[in-house]
Amino acid sequence: MSHTIEDLDPRTPVVVGVGQASERLGDADYRRRSPVDLAADAALEALADTGADTAAVVPAIDTVAGIRQFEISVPGARAPLGRSDNFPRSVAGRIGAAPRRAVLDVGGGQGPQHLVNEFAATIAAGGAEVALLFGSEAISTIEKFARVDDKPDFTEHADGDLEDRGYGLRGMSSRHQAAHGMTDAPTQYSMIENARRARLKLSREEYAAAMGQLFAPFTRVAAANPHAAAPVERSAEELVTVTEANRIIAEPYTRYVVAREKVNQGAAVLIMSVAAARRLGVPVEKWVFLAGHADLRERDLIERADLSSSPAAVTAARHALEVAGIGVDDLTTIDLYSCFPAPVFNITDAFGLSPDDPRGLTLTGGLPFFGGAGNNYSMHAIADTVQRARQAPGSYGFVGANGGIMSKYSTGVYTTTPRPWAADRSADLQAEIDAWPAPAEARQADGWATIETYTIKHGRDGTRTGIVIGRLEADGRRFVARGDDRDTGLLELLGAGEPAGARVYARSFGFGNRVTTTEAAMNALFPIEPAVLRDRYEHVLVRRDGHLLEVTINRPDARNSLHPMANDELDHVFDAYFADEDLWVAILTGAGEKAFSAGNDLIYSGSGKPMWVPKNGFAGLTGRRRMTKPVIAAVNGFAMGGGCEIALACHLVVADATARFALSEVKIGLVAGAGGVVRLPRTVPQKLATEMILTGRRLSADEALSHGLVNRVTPAGEALRGARELAAEILDSSPTSVRVSLQMMEETCGIPDVVDAVTHHSKALDELLVSEDAAEGPRAFAQKRRPVWRNR
């Protein structure tokens, strides 16, 4: 059904103005514009583009929404030249607008199209009349002047409220991925790229040629674009041939085929209702309608059934076309987000588009050549699409905007043909996507496995790091692992032929999963140390007294806080303790009088050095270790954060009068994730545990005793003596009975019904009844002598 301008609902949204601004270092008109300046320049261009009286349009702007710059897209990011504390209102102030609403959107390249979709719907619903959307980056200027004395100051304050939607980083990465080097976009996208190459059964040379053929036409478009950051036409071969200027970054990517972030660019889009456009005198020939739109989110990378594609992005593209009532063949212009080849291939594969499609796959020149203007690239694509739609009335233009690791995809279809606003079904489609099955993941991977996909990261210093995503042969669970820098065998496997499907050997450590070509290679790189006490440790003191083992954290100058080396030593000590049948009780304490342990060594972690804990947790105790023999914590002074978690993991706690217990992580923006948030509510009353976890409240030794966190309190400085007395009482009993008692307690702690727990059959009890200790105890009692325990 065709529609005319006259029969449209007055609230129908239309794009009425678009603008772009840019400058390049070294150009004659270069002015060191700030991100606010560039966005304001683009906004003024968009206002002028309406063909209406700017003086009338500016006061009508009721909503402004900004795209996050890179320097405000992650927590703790630096702004070397300063920044606005309210970017949207700073830009509004530059152009003289006083909107009632200001929005700073989440990060991600989907942002520009998402904002168009969102505020078009808001206008259609009557929630706004005139919305100005914009974004910018001045990364080239910022990097050039960051370390010089004569630098511009981009710091500014803007009054007014701000709807800050946060960073939007969920699912982009994780601590687990970071531990394996999968933090940067080229590394994660190269995993997708290599999975696609393996699926298509292409050689490395064939795939490189395909990437070059895909992007060579992009360079021609960029070369003719006055706003392009790198307006140089390059051949397909030049794009993928490794040279000093075109170094390899993460296989298969060379520098020329990844997004160029060093740009000074801004873009803006002005949307308003048909009623406002009429009232403000915007000529009808300037009106462009959003005929189709969709916003969908892909499963996180490790959860995707197919690592080579993003079906959610394809679904978003199909749905936008469906809402518009057209097919891909009806499009006149196409712009596909192109931070790397993979997002472009993802759409071309699904729709059968060719790299040499006469319509082209970009209007700007793409992120590697036009420039990836941070999260704002697609605002430029929208601006060009709108201009082209006006030049060919009745045509349709498509914009596909990608964010994250092919994680978030927003799409729009633009036309001058009058269209009533049509709602999309993105919410329903998202529910379907969220229900897609996901492979089970192995955070700790051990055993033989096959490679699903991989990459080799190349450092500027010549270092190479192999990273794989694989499946364990034993149960098919997916895992992430990296190679050891000393392992040339893995690099040879990943660097030639087809690694996908190859057999490798994985082993987990506290610092992450490692993968090698053979089990023998793994054992050579990481020799398995016998579980026998060493003669000497650097950070731990060990004293053996008969069947008692005393372990002292020996870092008093650091309040016995733990860094990776201390944790590894404690892990080994307790490996040896639990393996030694002649050791029956262990005591753990801290050197000096000030602290049992202050937990994680924040000074060490703050230095930027790698941090990890053993798989068995802080001190080798708080994690997955099965505590089959008693461990007593002798708490002298502070047991803070991880130190408190260690005490909670011990079977028994003796504290001196100076002891203080606290889970203080919330005070420094962390969480008691090494067992504290689990064990404390199971040890002290729920309300008290919640207060301690949420406020960092400290408990004195007497308070800890009254609430069951501590078994005994001694005078100041005598915690170790008290722990020895408690250990002696345990040692007076059968070690076999002690071990079996602990095992039965653990087996039944998760059984809620008391009768079921009491009648639970434990094999440990059967083993006790045929032990030597079970015979020795009654015999010694009858003979009125002390038993001689054998622990067997």
Element (H, E) at 205: helix 204-223
The amino acid present at 292, given as its one-letter code, is: G
Q: Are 596 and 589 in contact (CB under 8 A)?
A: yes
Output the 3-class SS for 454-519: EEEEECCCCCEEEEEEEEECCCCCEEEEECCCCCHHHHHHHCCCCCCCCEEEEEEECCEEEEECCH
Q: Residue ranges of the alpha helices (H) in 72-110?
A: 87-95
- Residue 114 CA to residue 412 CA, distance in Å, equals 9
Bridge-based pairing state of the strands 264-273 and 13-22 = antiparallel
- Residue 427 CA to residue 431 CA, distance in Å, equals 6
Residues 6+ apart with CB under 8 A from 499: 194, 451, 454, 468, 493
- Residue 250 CA to residue 193 CA, distance in Å, equals 11
- Residue 650 CA to residue 727 CA, distance in Å, equals 13
Strand, coil or helix: 152: coil
The residue from 45, 550, 569, 665 that is catalytic is 665
Rounded to the nearest 5°, which phi and psi values hold at 327? -115, 175
49, HSE (Cβ side, Cα atoms, 13 Å): 27
The amino acid present at 13, given as its one-letter code, is: P
- Residue 212 CA to residue 361 CA, distance in Å, equals 14
CA-to-CA dists, residue 583 to 131, 454, 743, angstroms: 73, 46, 17
The residue from 645, 691, 772, 776 that is catalytic is 645
- Residue 96 CA to residue 100 CA, distance in Å, equals 13
- Residue 298 CA to residue 188 CA, distance in Å, equals 14
- DSSP letter, residue 75: T
Rounded to the nearest 5°, which phi and psi values hold at 714? -115, 165
Which DSSP string do the residues of 2-71 spell out, in sequence order?
---GGGS-TT-EEEEEEEEEE--TT-TT-----HHHHHHHHHHHHHHHT-S-HHHHGGG--EEEEPPPGG
Active-site residue 473, yes or no? no
Rounded to the nearest 5°, which phi and psi values hold at 5? -55, -40
Closest CA to 595 of 566, 564, 553: 553
- Residue 496 CA to residue 198 CA, distance in Å, equals 13
450, HSE (Cβ side, Cα atoms, 13 Å): 9
- Tokens 């206002």 sit on residue: 47
- Residue 180 CA to residue 176 CA, distance in Å, equals 7
Strand, coil or helix: 449: strand
- Residue 341 CA to residue 392 CA, distance in Å, equals 29
Q: Is the peptide bond before 252 cis (omega within 30 degrees of 0)?
A: yes
Q: Are 414 and 393 in contact (CB under 8 A)?
A: no
The amino acid present at 237, given as its one-letter code, is: E
550-587 per-residue burial string, b: 16 or more CB within 10 A, e: under 16: bbbbbbeebbbbbbbebbbbbbbbbbbbbebeebbbbb
- Residue 293 CA to residue 304 CA, distance in Å, equals 24
Active-site residue 645, yes or no? yes
Q: How far apart are the first and last CA of the chain?
A: 88
Q: Are 285 and 260 in contact (CB under 8 A)?
A: no
Q: Are 100 and 139 in contact (CB under 8 A)?
A: no
Q: Are 538 and 563 in contact (CB under 8 A)?
A: no
* Residues annotated as catalytic (active site), given as ranges: 645, 665
